[in-house]
């Protein structure tokens, strides 16, 4: 019964965050465009040899997602901090984790929408031949995004309330994301290269473990962090 | 005075009372021990059949690496204790151990690089232990910059405990992921895989570096405690000034 | 062989530069902390 109420609160926060995002639009467009821009820059840096581009595609795509996505997380708290709305939100008689869950889901949807634009562009620009492995490759993207967004949402709850938030968030977040970067780009590379599940299996397991550990850890730690 | 100063009893230790003198002597002993252990290692070890005299780098590289990990273990445990009990001393201990651990990690990387150049022919290789040590360094540089960017003491303690704990949690995952990604390293140097004639020197050096680590951490802890005490006094003075 | 010695010496020099460098920093940090504490407690004493 109480749990149903918590879920309703989570949904309310998701809806609120996505609505403000939808009404402003500028944020999403800028982040998606930055992702495309980074892909283009990688193309210039690595190309024009088609083979080299194809081999680097998965890594370049993930870097574009990380660098573009990291901008979204501070935003998700910034709107509330600017409006002085975070404190009233904390005053609501509800468990703190519902706030984190709401932000997490909203950010995840945001990042997935950015990916929906950036991934097709990467496939075209880097001349990726999407073979039989494209469906599991999308699953890998989803798993990688979950870990990325969980940690991003968590660290942004601190970085956005400190001095020098622009530099602090990537400084804290990117070293933590090295397993996600390695696992997602290796897994999607081997899936797209057409030797399905040769070494992708181990990487997928690693991603699942990472997601479980850090979703749980950031949910638990958020209670302590948002308090002060 | 209506506002009692908390931690008053520690101010003697923080400003260097008789307890402070004891720590200094301990520090001198630790440094002398390090000199002695290095001399022992250098003088007693014969040239290795594969690595020749390069083996002697092991006496500084391996103890630095072990002790860096001990320091980060201390960070993880004190961060957990802080989140659990909320006592300031755990936060200050975590911060001190993190700073000292960062120094030892940087030393480990530099020494590993100096060892790697003549042995592997390159200054850097994307080997699991080297790479995950570098990631560890980055995680804790992030931890220290977070601390530097926050003025509010409660916030700093609470947040950095969370960051320290998550960072420590990530270390084995980073290691696994880099190991799967690429592997090229000799078996880990523990006394069991090292020729017996090097064991004594390695153990002595490990213990000496451990003592230096303890001295550094205690000394840093004491300074952190004094800083914190000063912060509280200043805060109090400011509050009283406003009240008058 | 001579080249090897160069690397060994370099390693020990780096180790000691690190140890002594950090010792110097510790000394500076401790002294600054002590001075700040002295000043703060003098201020508190004046108030009382």
For residue C17, pLDDT over 90 is answered with yes
pLDDT value, residue C4: 76
CB atoms within 10 A of CB A103: 25
- The average pLDDT across B130-155 equals 89
Question: What is the DSSP secondary structure assignment for residue B15, as one 8-state letter?
Answer: T
Contact C29 B220 (CB under 8 A): yes
* Per-residue confidence band for C41, with pLDDT thresholds at 50, 70 and 90: confident
Identify the residue among B96, B223, B240, B244 best suited for mutation to test binding to C, counting C beta carbons within 10 A and taking the highest: B223
pLDDT value, residue A210: 93
Tokens of C18: 């690190």
Output the average pLDDT for chain B.
Answer: 82
pLDDT value, residue B178: 81
pLDDT value, residue A87: 76
pLDDT value, residue B14: 46
How far is the alpha carbon of A175 from chain B, nearest alpha carbon, in Å? 6
CB atoms within 10 A of CB B21: 10
Instruction: Write out chain C residues lying below 8 Å of B147, CB-based.
Output: none
Which chains contact B through at least 3 pairs of Cβ atoms less than 8 Å apart? A, C
The highest-confidence range among A120-129, B14-23, B70-79, B224-233, by mean pLDDT, is B70-79
Number of domains within chain A = 1
Residue C43 lies in a domain: yes
Give the whole-number percent of chain A exceeding pLDDT 90. Answer: 31
Contact B60 C37 (CB under 8 A): no
Residue C11 lies in a domain: no
Residue A228 has its nearest CB partner, among B135, B158, B180, at B158
* Per-residue confidence band for B6, with pLDDT thresholds at 50, 70 and 90: very low
Of B4 and B51, the one with more pLDDT: B51
The whole domain housing C46 covers 17-48
Instruction: Write out chain A residues lying below 8 Å of B83, CB-based.
Output: 221, 224
Dihedral sign for Cα B213, B219, B223, B224, please. positive
**How many Å apart are CA B86 and CA A160, to the nearest integer?**
23
Number of domains within chain B = 1
Contact B237 C47 (CB under 8 A): yes
What ipTM describes this predicted complex?
Answer: 0.85
The whole domain housing B54 covers 16-234
Residue B132 lies in a domain: yes
CA A218, B134, A186, A173: dihedral to nearest 10 degrees?
Answer: 30
**How many Å apart are CA B60 and CA B202, to the nearest integer?**
9
Give the whole-number percent of chain A exceeding pLDDT 70. Answer: 95
Dump pLDDT digits (tens) for A54-113: 878 888 999 999 999 888 888 888 877 877 777 777 777 777 888 889 889 999 999 999
* Per-residue confidence band for B45, with pLDDT thresholds at 50, 70 and 90: confident
How far is the alpha carbon of B193 from chain C, nearest alpha carbon, in Å? 21
How far is the alpha carbon of B132 from chain A, nearest alpha carbon, in Å? 10
Bridge partners, B48 (sequence order): B52
Residue B83 has its nearest CB partner, among A174, A178, A224, at A224
pLDDT value, residue C27: 92
Of B143 and A85, the one with more pLDDT: B143
B83 at interface of A, judged by CB pairs closer than 8 A: yes
Tokens of B59: 């006496």
pLDDT value, residue B10: 47
B149 at interface of A, judged by CB pairs closer than 8 A: yes
How far is the alpha carbon of B237 from chain C, nearest alpha carbon, in Å? 6
Dump pLDDT digits (tens) for B69-124: 999 999 999 999 998 888 889 999 999 999 999 999 999 999 988 888 888 888 88
pLDDT value, residue A162: 84
B98 at interface of C, judged by CB pairs closer than 8 A: no
Instruction: Write out chain B residues lying below 8 Å of A158, CB-based.
Output: 146, 159, 162-163
Residues in contact with B212: Cβ distance below 8 Å, sequence separation at least 6, in sequence order: B30, B31, B34, B67, C19
Dump pLDDT digits (tens) for B181-238: 765 344 555 555 566 677 888 889 999 999 999 999 999 999 999 988 988 888 888 8
B224 at interface of C, judged by CB pairs closer than 8 A: yes
- The average pLDDT across C23-39 equals 91
**How many Å apart are CA B138 and CA B134, to the nearest integer?**
6
pLDDT value, residue B99: 94
Residue B91 lies in a domain: yes
The whole domain housing A163 covers 2-227
Residue C9 lies in a domain: no
CB atoms within 10 A of CB A164: 13
Residue B8 lies in a domain: no
Rg for chain B, CA atoms, rounded: 21
Q: Is B52 helix (H, G, I), strand (E, B) or coil?
A: strand
Contact B150 A213 (CB under 8 A): no
pLDDT value, residue C2: 58
Identify the residue among B80, B159, B161 best suited for mutation to test binding to A, counting A beta carbons within 10 A and taking the highest: B159
Identify the residue among B162, B175, B176 best suited for mutation to test binding to A, counting A beta carbons within 10 A and taking the highest: B162
pLDDT value, residue B208: 92
Residue B56 has its nearest CB partner, among C8, C22, C43, at C8
Residue B204 lies in a domain: yes
pLDDT value, residue B89: 92
Tokens of B35: 């000199």
Residue A221 has its nearest CB partner, among B139, B149, B162, at B162
HEC profile of A22-77: HHHCHHHHHHHHHHHHHHHHHHHHHCCCHHHHHHHHHHHHHHHHHHHHHHHHHHHH
Residues in contact with B114: Cβ distance below 8 Å, sequence separation at least 6, in sequence order: B57, C7, C10, C11, C14
pLDDT value, residue A194: 62
Residue C1 has its nearest CB partner, among B52, B60, B64, at B52
Closest chain C residue to the Cα of B236, Cα to Cα: C44
Output the average pLDDT for chain A.
Answer: 84
Q: Decide: A62 and A32 in contact? Cβ < 8 Å.
A: no
- The average pLDDT across B124-134 equals 83
Q: Which of residues 100-119 of B touch C (CB under 8 A)?
A: 100, 103, 106-107, 110-111, 114-115, 117-118
Contact A217 B169 (CB under 8 A): yes
Q: Tell me whether chains C and A touch (3+ CB pairs under 8 A).
A: no
- Find, among A68, A58, A66, the residue nearest to A32 by Cα: A68
């Amino acid at each position: 019964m109480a749990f149903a109420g918590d879920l309703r609160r989570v949904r309310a926060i998701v809806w609120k965050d996505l609505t403000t995002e939808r009404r402003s639009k500028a944020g999403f467009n800028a982040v998606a465009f930055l992702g495309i821009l980074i892909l283009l820059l990688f193309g210039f840096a690595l190309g024009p040899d088609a083979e080299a581009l194809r081999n680097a595609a998965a890594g370049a795509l993930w870097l574009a997602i990380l660098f573009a996505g990291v901008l979204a997380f501070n935003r998700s708290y910034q709107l509330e901090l600017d409006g002085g709305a975070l404190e009233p939100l904390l005053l609501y008689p509800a468990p703190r984790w519902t706030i984190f869950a709401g932000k997490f889901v909203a950010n995840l949807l945001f990042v997935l929408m950015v990916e929906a634009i950036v991934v097709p562009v990467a496939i075209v620009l880097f001349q990726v031949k999407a073979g039989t492995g494209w469906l599991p490759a999308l699953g890998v993207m989803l798993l990688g995004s979950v870990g990325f967004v969980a940690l991003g949402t968590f660290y942004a709850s601190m970085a956005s309330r400190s001095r020098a938030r622009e530099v602090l968030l990537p400084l804290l977040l990117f070293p933590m994301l090295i397993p996600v970067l390695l696992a997602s780009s290796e897994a999607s590379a081997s899936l797209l290269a057409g030797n399905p599940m040769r070494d992708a299996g181990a990487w997928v397991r690693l991603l699942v473990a990472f997601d479980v550990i850090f979703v749980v850890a950031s949910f638990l730690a958020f209670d302590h962090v948002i308090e002060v | 005075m209506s506002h009692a100063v908390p931690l008053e009893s520690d101010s003697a230790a923080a400003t260097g009372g008789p307890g402070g003198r004891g720590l200094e002597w301990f520090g001198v002993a630790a440094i002398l021990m390090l000199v002695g252990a290095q001399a022992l290692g250098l003088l007693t070890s014969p040239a290795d059949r594969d690595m020749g005299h390069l083996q002697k780098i092991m006496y500084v590289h391996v103890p630095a690496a072990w002790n860096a990990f001990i320091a980060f273990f201390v960070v993880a445990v004190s961060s957990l204790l802080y989140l659990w009990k909320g006592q300031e001393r755990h936060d200050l201990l975590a911060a001190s151990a993190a700073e000292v651990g960062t120094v030892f990690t940087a030393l480990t990387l530099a020494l590993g690089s100096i060892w790697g150049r003549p042995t592997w022919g390159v200054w850097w290789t994307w080997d699991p232990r080297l790479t995950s040590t570098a990631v560890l360094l980055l995680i804790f540089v992030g931890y220290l910059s977070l601390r530097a960017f926050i003025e509010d003491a409660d916030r700093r303690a609470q947040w950095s405990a969370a960051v320290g704990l998550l960072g420590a949690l990530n270390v084995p995952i980073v290691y696994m992921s880099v190991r799967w990604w690429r592997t090229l390293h000799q078996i880990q140097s523990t006394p069991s895989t090292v020729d017996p004639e090097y064991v004594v020197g390695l153990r002595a050096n490990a213990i000496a570096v451990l003592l230096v680590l303890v001295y550094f951490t205690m000394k840093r802890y004491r300074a952190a405690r004094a800083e914190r005490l000063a912060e509280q006094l200043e805060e109090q003075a400011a509050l009283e000034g406003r009240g008058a | 062989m001579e080249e090897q010695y160069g690397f060994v010496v370099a390693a020990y020099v780096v180790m000691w530069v690190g140890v002594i460098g950090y010792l110097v920093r510790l000394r500076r940090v401790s002294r600054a902390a002590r001075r700040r504490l002295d000043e703060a407690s003098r201020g508190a004493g004046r108030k009382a």
